[in-house]
Amino acid sequence: MLHVDLDAFLASVELLRRPELAGLPVVVGGRGDPTERAVVSTCSYEARAFGVRSGMPLRIAARKCPDAVFLPVDKPHYEEASERVMTVLRDHPGATVEVVGWDEAYVGLVTADPEREARALQQAVTQTTGLTCSVGIGDTLLRAKTASDFEKPRGVSWLTAETWPTVMGPRPVTELHGVGSRIGTRLEALGITTIAGLAAVDESVLATEFGPTNGPRLRVRGRGEGPTWPDPTPWVPKAHGRETTYQQDLGSREEVAVGLHDLAVRVVEDIRAEGRPCLRVHLKVRFVPFWTVNRSRVLPAPTLDPAVIAETALALFDALEDDRDVRLLGVRAEMTPPQA
């Protein structure tokens, strides 16, 4: 099992069309203007050396790396580059490919020499697209994905059932894919701070805290277990969402209502193209200074009416009863399942 992870994907794609920027700290995010409110989508390794990271506000990135080159996000260009890479992976002899994002995919291969296959994939991707990738080798999808982070860029790393306890066991639970800071805090309250501790804890403890399904799943992840072969079934989106970070805070309910309606119109364009109506509305609000809240509500009936979606989102906003100014709004439409 291989996990192919493209190195600094967005920044690398930009460098292909701007080779004069090679070796410079490059940051991709928003409209490429660090004076505006936006976050880093990705950055080159030269920028990372200054402490710049994905998700960081552009203004902070500019403060950490004043000489960085800031570029705007160009989604269509990245989608095209991603598809070229995935075509290379699918064309590899005997490969079963599960695409999990613009810049990563699982590749299942029956081979006696996984490392040779990993090197061959790296070479094929670079020769065809000009991009580089790191590859993790593992006996589960999770172990392969975890291993691909070990030697970036252009590395090949192994992680198996035998090496997992030694390599991953002493690490904090938040170094486990799928365990963020919030879950980590809840685990810490249970006395679980390391991956080894998570792997060894009684399932009933996790089930009580996280539910009968999610709790045991966490222990499975703590052991590095899970699916052992990729699923090549084409990904079908469950929802479409849009969000906007406002350059000036929204200070009134009327401004919020206008913002939600604009987002709803854009979301309906996306789900209409799928041919599947909205079943549940999700609202995301980021209040000043940086407090984010998410809420959702099932609709009485599926709809493609942006007014209904906007009104539902506004009702969710009103229910928060929070009078702080708003810096970000997001609307996400969860669609009805596709017909079999």
Active site positions, annotated: 104
98, 229, 205, 208 alpha-carbon torsion, rounded to 10°:
50
Q: Based on C-alpha coordinates, what's the Rg of the chain?
A: 22
Alpha carbon of residue 214 to chain centroid: 19
Q: Which residues pair with 243 in a beta bridge?
A: 330
Distance, CA of 83 to CA of 102 (rounded, Å): 8
Q: What is the DSSP letter of 15?
A: H
74, 80, 83, 84 alpha-carbon torsion, rounded to 10°:
-120
Q: Which residues pair with 242 in a beta bridge?
A: 331
Place of tokens 């970070």: 245
Environment class of 337 (CB within 10 Å of its CB; exposed 0-12, middle 13-18, buried 19+):
exposed
Query: What percent of the chain is helix, strand and coil (3-state, nearest 5)?
Result: 40, 25, 35
Q: What is the DSSP letter of 37?
A: S
Alpha carbon of residue 281 to chain centroid: 21
Distance, CA of 267 to CA of 238 (rounded, Å): 13
Place of tokens 């020499």: 113
Q: Return the ∠ at Cα 155 (arms to 152 and 159), rounded to 5°.
A: 100
Alpha-carbon distance values, 85 to 22, 106, 109, 155, 275 (Å): 21, 12, 17, 17, 28
Parallel/antiparallel/unpaired status of strands 69-71 and 26-28:
parallel
Q: In the structure encoding, which two tokens stand for residue 301, read together? A: 């009936």
